[in-house]
Amino acid sequence: MVVMKSRNGRRLAVLSMAVSGALAVTKITVGLLGGSTSVVADGVESASDVLASGFLLFGLWVASRPPDEDHPYGHGRFETLTALGLGFVLAATGGLIALRSLQTVGDNLQAPAFYTIWPLIASVLLKGSLAVVKMRAGNRMGSSALIADAWNDTVDILSGLTALVALGLTLWDPDRFLSADHYGGSAVGVIVIFLGLQVIRTNTLTLMDTMPSRKRLDEIRRMAKTVPGAIEVEKCYARKTGMRWHVDLHLEVDPDLTVRRSHDIATEVRIACKENLPWVADVLVHVEPYLGENGTR
């Protein structure tokens, strides 16, 4: 299942690279020919998307490798590291775009050509479709890298609209808003910086073994208690290792049960959680005696 999900994610990454590459070449070429700084800036941002999707492609390939002797939990964390690297790439790219756009303020001698507006419209439409597809696939797969790339596409929409507004102002009234096109390019860079910082924050928390939501922990507890003989769950911890979660569970059973029977119950709990909760990779069950609600039998 993990291999199949990773393969689907890699296909999306390849598609994204093709779309972003075509948009980057088109926007940079049209922007340079038509004299639009904001279109060129948005084209550079699209070029960074090609690099980001390349990161995603490599990360998903490594993360799909099965566990081995040195990596008993699998290679899923590499997918999180990929998303973290993507965040740094986005932040750096945004900084360069903003700086370069501000440096060109005052260089305009004439308004950009009207046709420079069309690549921005095409970019907003195409990136909107990609963002929806990636976000749904990322949530279904539990892929933080794919979700990060989806957010990247979402910000592409925002940056494209920002560039579109700035360019529109310049085309509407060149005498009053001749510099709006340049400031629009800078605004695109700032948007990309904030996206990069958000991606860095989210994946840093994952690497710090931040617990899943209370809802998911409750799902694990309820599933464990559906197994006959499982009386209560004392503790429940989980950490994300790539696309799925590894769970540590302290299960309370009747203290008079044999070791074999207690072990069998723990095994049934592990199987129930893995089969019914697709986002759970594995469960380590620690069996404890149930002493009653007051701590005494």
Query: Where are the chain's structural domains?
Result: 2-207, 214-289
> Is it the case that residue 211 has pLDDT exceeding 60?
yes
Q: What is the average per-residue pLDDT within 124-147?
A: 79
- Nearest-angstrom CA–CA distance, 101 and 104: 5
Predicted local distance difference test score (pLDDT) of residue 241: 80
Check residue 143 and report its DSSP letter: -
Can you name the CATH fold of 2-207?
A: Alpha-lytic protease prodomain-like (1.20.1510)
- Nearest-angstrom CA–CA distance, 99 and 194: 15
**What six digits make up the tokens of 282?**
């594995």
Superfamily name and number for 214-289 = Cation efflux protein, cytoplasmic domain (3.30.70.1350)
**What are the backbone dihedrals phi and psi of residue 232, each rounded to the nearest 5 degrees, phi first?**
-150, 155
How buried is 29 (Cβ within 10 angstroms: 0-12 exposed, 13-18 middle, 19+ buried)?
middle
CA distances to 23, 171, 227 from 231, rounded to whole Å, are: 58, 71, 9
Residue 289 vs residue 244, higher pLDDT:
289
Predicted local distance difference test score (pLDDT) of residue 178: 64
What's the pLDDT tens digit per position in 155-198? Answer: 777 777 777 777 777 778 776 766 666 677 677 778 778 878 88
Q: What is the average per-residue pLDDT within 259-277?
A: 94
Q: Name the residue with tokens 């299960």.
A: 251
Check residue 225 and report its DSSP letter: T
What's the pLDDT tens digit per position in 17-69? Answer: 788 888 888 888 888 888 777 778 778 777 777 777 777 677 777 777 777 78
